[in-house]
Structure 1
Amino acid sequence: MKNELDPGKILQAYDNIMAHGTDTEFGKIYEGVEAFSDYDGYNVFMRGNGVELKVGFHNTYHLEYDQEHLRDSFLKKVALLAK
C-alpha cells in the first residue's frame, strides 16, 4: 500500500459505528461496515465487502482482502465513517 493507515482515524470510525450501528452477533454494523472487539478491548476489528481490518495494541494493524479494489473501497468507507 502506498499510504499507511492512520490508527486514530480507524478508531474514530470504530467509535462512530459503535455509537450509531445496529446490533449484530459480534458487535455493531453501520453503513455496511461491522465493528467489534475482542474480550479485553485491546484489538478492534472492522469488516465488510470481503475485507477485514484488525487494529491491535500499539496501533498495529493488519488488513486481509482478496482483491485490491475491494480493499480500496472498504478503506474509503472507513475514512468517511471517521468524519
Structure 2
Amino acid sequence: MKNELNTAKLLAAFEVVMDKGAKTEFGKMYQGVEASTDYDGYNVYLKGNGVQLHIGFHNTYDLNYDQTHLRDSFLKKLDALVRNTVLDDHH
C-alpha cells in the first residue's frame, strides 16, 4: 500500500476512542473500534472489522487487512470519529 496515511489523524482517532470508549480487556472500544497501547505508550493499536493498525515511534505504521473494502471502511470510520468529535466540541 503506497498511499500515505495521516498519522496525526490516526492518533486523533486513537485519542477519541480512549477518551469516549468503554473499557475492554486490552484497551477501550468505541463505535466498533478498539484502541490499545503497549506498556510504554510508544506503540498504539487500532482495530476493528478485520483490520489492525499499528502506529509506532516516529509516526511509522503498519496496516493489516484481508480485504481492501474492509480497510477502506475502517479508515473512513476513523476519519468520521475525528471529524464528529471536532464538530461535537464546537471549536
Seq. identity, %: 63
Instruction: Give the alignment's TM-score, normalised by structure 2.
Output: 0.88
Match of 2:30 in 1: 30
Q: CA deviation at 1:73?
A: 0.5
How many residues are matched? Answer: 83
Instruction: Give the whole-Å Cα distance in 2 for the aligned partners of 1:82 and 1:3.
Output: 20
Greater Cα radius of gyration, structure 1 or 2 = 2
Residues 1:61 and 2:35 aligned together: no
Q: Say yes or no: does 1:81 pair with 2:84.
A: no
- Alignment partner, residue 6 of structure 2: 6
**TM-score using structure 1 length:** 0.96
Q: Any stretches of 5+ residues in structure 1 without a counterpart?
A: none
User: Relative contact order (alpha carbons < 8 A, sep ≥ 6): 1 or 2 greater?
Assistant: 1
Unaligned runs of 5+ in 2: 84-91
